[in-house]
Structure 1
Amino acid sequence: MVGNVNSLKQKQIKRYWELLSVLVQRNLKTRYRGSLLGVYWSLLNPLIMTGLYTAIFGATFASYYNNSIINYVLAAFTGLVVINFFSASTSQALGSVVGNGSLLNKIQLPVSIFPVSMIAANIFQFVVAVFPLLALMTLINSKSIINIFALIFPFIGLILVCTGVGFVVSALYVFFRDLSYFYELVVFVLWISSPVFYPAAIVSPHIKPFLNLNPLSPIIESLRQITLSGALPDFHLIAHSLISSIIMLTIGWFCFKLWRHQFMDLL
């Protein structure tokens, strides 16, 4: 009996993985059909925005990064790649269930695979285009292979946060089709409340407890510490980012599972 249950679970996992692979390939081909740079467009945006932030804020905030403009450039870039990944993956996940409503009405598929496939497509982009540059930055600053491997942990935290939020917004969009307009505001608030272009040290102690509720903040701080400090990874920061990420994923999956049975009546 136990063997049959395990065999069934293995078949379900294999089917889910095969469906996920097909959907990710479809997403990437659709997104970059006829594109010159392909997945490297995901790198171009943070590079341009880093240059813009450096021109405006570099001289002002360099003092918080050992009076080094280069360190500010690297700090701004790490913050931007996090917020860009979050914005792109969750915004694409938002409409994924509704966008595949006709398919769900014809074929019995696991509904969760659609937001997950959007996150997975962005993971592929990040690994191919952005991660090698972050690894090079880390190697130059820390000269440690340990730090390069440690980059995986805040990235896992980022994936978990995006997946949790993706579950929530994709489920809510089934019920509220104007959610996309409100979600743009939510992303802006998260961006401005994250230490993307400014150092966390300038935030008032009275406001900082509220900003610490932002799940992206510990991820950005952990990524910067690993990449820029030259010291060994701060496991307290890593643990903070992972714990908050697991909480976000748990909340997102609970909400998605709670509302999922109502989807088919509205698609």
Structure 2
Amino acid sequence: MTLSLKDNSNWLRVRRYWELLQVLVSRNLKVRYRGSFLGVYWSLLNPLIMTGLYTAIFGTTFASYYGNSILNYMLAAFTGLVVINFFSASTSQALSSVVTNGSLLNKIQLPSSIFPVSMIAANVFQFAIAVLPLLIVMTFINSKSLLNVLALLFPCLALILVSTGIGFLVSALYVFFRDLPYFYELIVFVLWITSPIFYPAAIVPAQVKSFLGLNPLSPIIESLRQITLSGMLPDLNLIWGALFTGIIILSLGWTCFHSWRSHFMDLL
């Protein structure tokens, strides 16, 4: 009987969290795109424009690493850009989410974790509506395999796990360090330049590769490219590496957030 009551209480808590998450995600999207013509498709326009610029500048130089095909380079650049854009946008928005909603937390008893999660979830919705369909089409054209299309979910899941973990971490840190956004811009730039986005990973010197391996986005980009562009079956080692990275970072971010949240109310 006691166990049943406990299970029912946990279910009600999860249901309340889910309903609250839906409300916050809807609010975030409405505020972000109120009066916008393209709406969520703005998240697709940026990587498309940047892909065109990178192709014009670097396409002929790096095409040899992609089967001497400028089109393949273009697709490779696009996959890298959608990863870094999702990460940058979702974590930057999550960073200020707890502090921005501090007055609400002081008035109503809410789980503070709901705010960074809602920012990540809003960007997941954008990604699923605008970017993922294009990745699915690219994958099916190159591989002719539904298995590769389904495998797309794994690097995308890894990207969400990494972004959520970093979102938890930076949103908690921002409560204590209000200069964090300026420092975080530098961190995102370092992650962007050390990710194989506009250049192939093969050109990186061996002595530098071990350092670049610390970048959590690199295995995600490499796995996504392998599934999307190679035409071969998904590489399970790349997929596992991306997912393992995501699980570690999510665990670290959630542990820090959970450990520090008892001090939030004194500073909000």
Question: How far apart are the structure 1 equivalents of 2:3 and 2:72?
Answer: 56
User: Aligned ranges for residues 42-191 of structure 1 at < 5 Å?
Assistant: 42-191=43-192
Q: Per-residue displacement from partner, 1:167-207 (whole Å, max 9, x unpaired)?
A: 00000000111110110000000000000111000001001
1:206 aligns with 2:207: yes
1:193 has 2:174 as partner: no
RMSD: 0.4
Gaps of 5+ in 1: none
Q: Which residue of 2 aligns with 1:13?
A: 14
3-state SS of 1:108 partner: coil
Q: Alpha-carbon deviation of 1:77?
A: 0.1
Partner secondary structure for residue 195 of structure 1: coil
Tell me the secondary structure at the aligned position of residue 206 of structure 1: helix
Quote how far apart the aligned CAs of 1:101 are. Answer: 0.3
1:140-192 deviation per Cα after TM superposition (whole angstroms, max 9, x unaligned): 00000110110000000000000000000000000111110110000000000
Shift of 1:44: 0.1
Q: Which amino acid aligns with 2:149?
A: I
- 1:190-243 CA-to-partner distances (Å, cap 9, x unmatched) read 000000111000001001011011110000000000000000100110000000
Aligned residue in 2 for 1:217: 218
The one-letter amino acid paired with 1:120 is A
Q: Distance in 2 between matches of 1:239 and 1:101?
A: 38
Deviations 1:12-61 (A, max 9, x none): 00000000000000000000000000000000000000000001100000
TM-score of the superposed pair, with normalisation by structure 1: 1.00
SS of equivalent residue, structure 1 residue 173 = helix
Give the distance between the partners of 2:154 and 2:10, measured in 1 at CA: 28
Q: In 1, distance between residues paired with 2:205 and 2:265?
A: 47
The 3-state SS of whatever aligns with 1:16 is helix
Partners of 2:4 and 2:236 in 1: CA distance: 39
Equivalent position amino acid for 1:73 in 2 = M
Distance in 1 separating the partners of 2:50 and 2:167: 25
Name the CA distance, whole Å, in 2 between partners of 1:155 and 1:123. 9
Residue identity over aligned pairs, in percent, reads 74
TM-score by length of 2: 0.99
Counterpart position of 2:233? 232
Following the alignment from structure 1 to structure 2, what is the Cα–Cα distance between the partners of residues 19 and 262? 23
Letter of the 1:219 counterpart: I
